[in-house]
Chains A and B, each alone.
Chain A
Amino acid sequence: MAGVMLKFLLRRLRVAVPTLFVIVTASFFLVRLAPGGPFDQEQALPPEILANLQRAYGLDRPLWVQYGRYLEGLAHGDFGPSFRYKDFTVTELIAQGFPVSAELGLLALAVALACGVPLGILAALARRPLLDRGLMLCAALGLAVPAFVLLPLLGLVFGVHWRWLPVAGWEPGSPRFLVLPVFALALAPFAYVARLTRGGMREALASDYVRTAHAKGLPLSAVVWRHALRPALLPVASYLPPAVASIMTGSLVVESIAGLPGIGRYLVQGALNRDYTLVMGMVIVYSAILVLMGLLVDLLYLWLDPRIALERA
């Protein structure tokens, strides 16, 4: 089994590594395709200063040398200098922002799972169709309200009207600033998790072996806990990479609205400022997280249902 697992992981890595390589290469050359240079400003720079700048950033070298250097830098975790935040390297900016973003994202994911799974199970077990329908309507609503609409609304109610929580801002070590952003970010994945859990649980409860277990006289709670939960969570597990992607994209707007100094805000700022190296670095980091997430989910699948996981490979 261990050998099979290793083979499985290696196979997945064979897809993951080229994917990352494609991302790095495509973004590198796309930047070079761009009309205008990174130093184009409202007033044209004097030519000698421009030349100096280009030399300083290595832009006067042939393209493949620049590409080689960039790859070499990446191998050492060096994303190059930021074109706009002149005193920082991209790596420094990422290192600053990453803990905040990670905390926000992981909390949102945790909230989505911790609320969505029980609610989904509850809806699946609900005897009265009204309860099920009501819960699912809430889920549909949750899916329909984007984070960038929800967060300002939450801020309006809890921040402006009741003054319980700060609308925006950040103090290290003070979780109060994270409450509203986390909930705004968690809503859509929560709704999706609830729907998926309900569907998965319904299907698992209808399957033969679960019905047999129930017929043997096991109480419902034991049936759910021991037999139905694992297969019911399979669709949730396969939703995790999109959930992480959704939280990561959501964090772009949420960090911008709430003024959290995470990497999402840097990405948006970088995009608006056309800070190539910064955006490139961010895209690579985000991609790496997503690819890593895919691998983690495969491992989770292996635990939940080895048969399916190996088939998927």
Chain B
Amino acid sequence: MNEPLLEVRGLSVAYGAHPALRAVDLQVRAGEVVGLVGESGAGKSTLARAVLGLVRADSGSVRWRGQELARASRHAWRAARREVQIVFQDPLASLDPRQTVGEILAEPLAVHEPRLGAGARARRVAAMLERVGLPADAATRRPHDFSGGQCQRIAVARAMMLAPALLVCDEPVSALDVSIQGQIVNLLLDLKAQTGAALLFISHNLPVVRQISDRVCVLYGGRVVENAPCEELFASPRHPYTRELLAAAPDPLVALARRELVYP
């Protein structure tokens, strides 16, 4: 096995007196899809934010390509920033209402490739709009002019602008209509196939996680209670909580039927 891209070890995060993550271990290898499941409040979003450096760890380490991020130099930190991107749950909230879609998509370039000319930037933005299935004139409009699904396409496009090695998806479809969820998941899988990016896919939608993941990690009360290859976990869950979680999930037949619905 190759060396992990992302390696989280013994990560603990607390909000005041309330612990959100307790000694969490997690690995993501290049090109791998890791599903992260658990009920709300289990610490899924906190883990996503900690991986991105948006919340400070109280203890433990987050390593990117073997380098400890908390002690990384400014340069190394920025380089890691460039390779790890995120798609949030609420597409509209994650887009600045004052910016045009073109400005939103150009921002990663402005931050990481400031020397790029305006023309080159516009070309990259236009190319990305096409890849995520948005019309070219979207660049001049603002997020409010788009539907939730379209906004999530914009958010995905922003995250993919720099061709990251790891894309963290924090419940990327749960705020969307069921009919649109499949489109976004398919978009993510397409882009992953094209770029070879790894995905850390956070969701409470077990059928989707089962469908796309190579490995699945179960969070419960801020701890990782089970971490196993996808089929193994779904076939023979070991931890009682995982069993409970799977039992509460829709019947596999129903899930299969739904998969038909989700991926036409």
**Direct contact between the two chains A and B in their complex (CB within 8 A):** no
- Chain B contacts to A: CB under 8 angstroms: none
Q: Which chain A residues have a beta carbon within 8 Å of chain B's beta carbons? A: none
